[in-house]
Amino acid sequence: MVEPQNTNDQYSEKEVLQEERYLWMARAFSLIAVLAFIANILILVALSGLTPLLRVQPFYMQAQNKDYQVISIVRPDFSSMSDEDLKVLQESLVREYLLARFGISSDVAEMEKRWGIDGPIFAMSESSVYDTFFKTESIKGLEQAQRDGLTRDVRILRVNRQEKYPDSSRWVAEVELVNMSQRISEQYTSKWLITMEVMFQPTHRKMSWAQRLRNPLGFMVTRFGRRSLEENEDTN
C-alpha cells in the first residue's frame, strides 16, 4: 500500500523556490542600482571637466524702436566714378524706377505702399514729379486695380542715355505696358516713350532710420515725361 507524501515537504520546496527567485531579483535590482550610480558619477566627472570651458557673462539688451532715429547717410562720391560705371549704375536705377512706377499687381496693399509716401517712387522723385504722378497715375491705377482687378506687366524694350549734363543726365526709354482686367478677357498693350532727367543727391543727407534703405544712393528723378507711341500725344 503506497503511503501519501507529506504536504509539508511540498510547501517547503515551493517556498524555497520563491525565496531563491526573490533573492535573484533583489540581486539584479542591486546590480542595476550600482551600475546607475557609477554612470551618474562618470557623468558628473565629465561635466566637471567641461565646467572651465563655460563662461557666464551677463549683459544688458536694450529694446527700442529706431524708426524715428535721425541718422546721417554718407553716400559714395559719384564724381570719382568713371563715366561708364556711372552710366551702368544710372541705367539700373532707371529700370528699377520704371518697373516700380508702371507695374500694377493684384496686391493692392503692396501697390499703396510702393506708390505712397513710404515707397520708392516718393523717395526717388522730386516733389513736382511725384505730385504729378500721384494725381494722374497713382489714384487712377489704384481705383482700376480695386474696381476692375487690373494688373499690368512692364516690358522695358530699350533704355539709352541721351545727354549728360554736369550734375544730371537725360535718359530715354521705350516701355510696353501689358494690361489685363477681369472685366476684359483680352490683353491690352500700349507702348510709351519715356524721357527722364536724373541726378544723384548730395553726398551727406540726414534721414530717419526707417528711411535709410528706401533710396540709399540718393537717385532722384527731376523731370519725367511720357509720350504714347500709338496716339502720338504727350503726357507729363
pLDDT (mean) for 136-142: 88
Sign of the torsion formed by the C-alpha atoms of 189, 95, 197 and 207: positive
19 in the same domain as 94:
no
64 is a domain residue? no
34 in the same domain as 115:
no
45 is a domain residue? no
CA 201 – CA 216 distance, rounded (Å): 10
CA 123 – CA 8 distance, rounded (Å): 105
Percent of the chain surpassing pLDDT 70? 78
2 is a domain residue? no
pLDDT (mean) for 208-232: 82
Number of H helices, E strands in the chain: 6, 7
Dump pLDDT digits (tens) for 169-179: 999 999 999 99
18 in the same domain as 84:
no
122 is a domain residue? yes
204 in the same domain as 95:
yes
Is the pLDDT higher at 143 or at 9? 143
98 in the same domain as 182:
yes
Note the pLDDT of residue 172: 95
165 in the same domain as 106:
yes
Residue 221, H or E segment: strand 219-228
Decide: 100 and 195 in contact? Cβ < 8 Å. no
142 in the same domain as 216:
yes
99 in the same domain as 23:
no
- Mean pLDDT is lowest, of 16-20, 207-211, 228-232, for 207-211
214 in the same domain as 151:
yes
Q: Domain span at residue 126?
A: 77-235
Closest to 125 in 3D by CA, of 208, 51, 3, 223 = 223
Question: How many structural domains are present in the chain?
Answer: 2
Closest to 121 in 3D by CA, of 196, 205, 27, 71 = 196
103 in the same domain as 21:
no
User: How many C-beta neighbours within 10 Å does residue 189 have?
Assistant: 13
180 is a domain residue? yes
Dump pLDDT digits (tens) for 73-117: 667 777 778 888 889 999 999 999 999 999 998 888 999 999 998
Q: pTM (2 decimals)?
A: 0.65
Query: Is residue 163 helix, strand or coil?
Result: strand
Q: Which CATH number covers residue 223?
A: 3.10.450.230
Note the pLDDT of residue 65: 63
Cα distances from 12 to residues 16, 17, 18, in angstroms, run 6, 9, 10
User: In what order do the strands lie in the sheet containing 151-164?
Assistant: 151-164, 169-180, 188-200, 219-228, 234-235
59 is a domain residue? no
Decide: 213 and 236 in contact? Cβ < 8 Å. no
Alpha helices per DSSP H over 51-126: 83-102, 108-115, 120-123
99 in the same domain as 18:
no
170 is a domain residue? yes
